[in-house]
């Protein structure tokens, strides 16, 4: 396959050709990959672009625990389907354990005091009868939690409380609940996780194999290097995990699952455009984190909006993306004051593209109110990009 065919295949596997429409949030995430969440609208855009799901449907799936935002691969937060909770928690467990080890080494923290704090938090949440936020938990446990002073702030760990909450989440003992039920807000409460998805612990090596199996189904053809970045695992651990899979080589260094090889070989790039408006951390980009493969040569030298570099120099997109059969064909942001999507196109406008933009604009207005790229995003922070996009 040439690069255009590869892009179209990746888009097909990511569900950006419209085929998953009508499926549930859990089904979309299981078949196309976990949705990265950084306190913005990315999970909603992921599910809307693939299956036309509105915010109410997604929020209902969160409330029913059919999908959940969890610390998982690389310790980063993703929205996962219930069938993957145990795998996600297990592959992400190293991050909070590493944070505790660093605090023990550098901040005069002991594992004993964190164990006591974890026990106090579990007792408190078990009797609370409602979700409690970090401030309420800290107040209730009293001296069991303590400040780590200037040294802690310098290392990004201001108190022992985040250490305990991180460990309890990773161990499947508590879960984080959005206060208003929304995934694009950063206000949470904590409740006991009953029954825990790790009631039967998962072997870490087996969890990595299962993650690799999922990854190459979502993202193949992909390289071992791509999977190592996504998983955050060591080269040796990745080598062992991948060795258990049936993968077929594609080109010099990419692989696709054997059970997809025939479909891959028979795949033909659709002749008609398949436009989708997605987030800057959508799986079409982030599963490989190799943005250049999605850019046509003519677009590599385009300047980033309100920036000093070209698109070809960036590791990640500077804005939300418009894609067509896997190719980046435009950039966009939402202006809540004007109530519109502001965009810059790399291809001529046609009726299908106009309709795709209008659908997403209506979704942003009616369901989201704003489209934040991440927790720190705001209309004010977005203003320079909006100006640059309008200028073309």
Q: Can you give the residue ranges of every domain in the chain?
A: 1-37+203-392, 94-170
What's residue 20's pLDDT? 61
Whole-number Å distance between alpha carbons of 377 and 321: 16
Check residue 21 and give its pLDDT.
Answer: 63
Beta strands in 7-130 (DSSP E): 35-36, 67-71, 77-81
**What six digits make up the tokens of 36?**
């990265």
> Which segments of the chain have a pLDDT < 70?
19-22
Rounded Cα gap, residues 223 and 71, in angstroms: 24
What confidence score (pLDDT) does residue 22 get? 66
What pLDDT was estimated at residue 19?
Answer: 66
The answer to whether residues 382 and 352 touch, using CB atoms and an 8 Å cutoff, is no
Give the three-class secondary structure for 354. Answer: helix
Q: What is the pLDDT of residue 185?
A: 87
| 48 contact partners, CB below 8 Å, separation of at least 6 | 54, 360, 363, 367
Angle at 70 (CA atoms; ends 46, 282), nearest 5 degrees: 25
Angstrom distance (rounded) from CA 215 to CA 222: 9
- Rounded to whole angstroms, the Cα distance separating 44 from 72 reads 19
> CA–CA distance from 109 to each of 49, 57, 105, 144 (Å)?
45, 43, 8, 12
pLDDT value of position 18: 77
Which pLDDT score, from 0 to 100, does residue 28 have?
95
What's the CA gap between 282 and 13, in Å, rounded?
13
Partnered with residue 257 across adjacent β-strands are 247
Q: Which two tokens stand for residue 87?
A: 């795998």
Backbone angles phi, psi at 322, to 5 degrees: -110, 125
């Amino acid at each position: 396959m040439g690069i255009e065919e590869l892009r179209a295949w990746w888009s097909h596997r990511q569900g950006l050709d419209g085929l998953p429409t009508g499926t549930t949030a859990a089904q979309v995430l299981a078949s196309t990959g976990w949705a990265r969440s950084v306190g913005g609208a990315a999970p909603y855009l992921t599910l809307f672009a693939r299956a036309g799901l509105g915010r109410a449907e997604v929020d209902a799936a969160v409330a029913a625990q059919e999908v959940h935002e969890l610390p998982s691969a690389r310790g980063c937060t993703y929205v996962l389907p219930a069938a993957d909770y145990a795998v996600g928690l297990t592959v992400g467990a190293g991050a909070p354990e590493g944070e505790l080890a660093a605090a023990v080494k550098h901040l005069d923290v002991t594992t004993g005091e964190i164990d006591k704090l974890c026990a106090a938090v579990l007792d408190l949440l078990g009797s609370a009868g409602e979700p409690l936020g970090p401030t309420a938990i800290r107040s209730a446990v009293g001296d069991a939690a303590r400040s780590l002073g200037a040294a802690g702030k310098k290392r990004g760990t201001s108190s022992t409380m985040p250490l305990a909450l991180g460990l309890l989440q990773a161990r499947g003992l508590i879960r984080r609940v959005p206060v208003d039920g929304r995934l694009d807000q950063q206000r949470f409460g904590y409740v006991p996780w009953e029954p825990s998805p790790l009631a039967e612990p998962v072997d870490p090596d087996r969890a990595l194999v299962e993650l690799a199996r999922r990854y190459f189904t979502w993202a193949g053809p992909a390289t071992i290097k791509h999977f190592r970045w996504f998983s955050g695992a060591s080269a040796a651990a990745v080598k062992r995990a991948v060795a258990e899979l049936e993968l077929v080589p594609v080109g010099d260094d990419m692989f696709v699952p054997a059970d997809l090889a025939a479909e891959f070989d028979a795949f033909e790039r659709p002749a008609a455009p398949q436009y989708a408006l997605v987030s800057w951390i959508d799986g079409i980009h982030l599963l490989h984190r190799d943005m250049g493969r999605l850019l046509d040569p003519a677009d590599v030298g385009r300047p980033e909006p309100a920036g000093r570099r070209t698109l070809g120099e960036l590791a990640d997109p500077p804005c939300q993306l418009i894609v067509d059969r896997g190719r980046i064909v435009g950039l966009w942001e939402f202006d809540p004051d004007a109530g519109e999507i502001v965009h810059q196109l790399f291809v001529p406008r046609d009726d299908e593209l106009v309709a795709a933009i209008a659908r997403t604009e209506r979704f942003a207005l009616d369901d989201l109110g704003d489209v934040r790229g991440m927790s720190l995003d705001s209309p004010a922070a977005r203003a320079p990009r909006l100006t640059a996009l309008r200028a073309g």
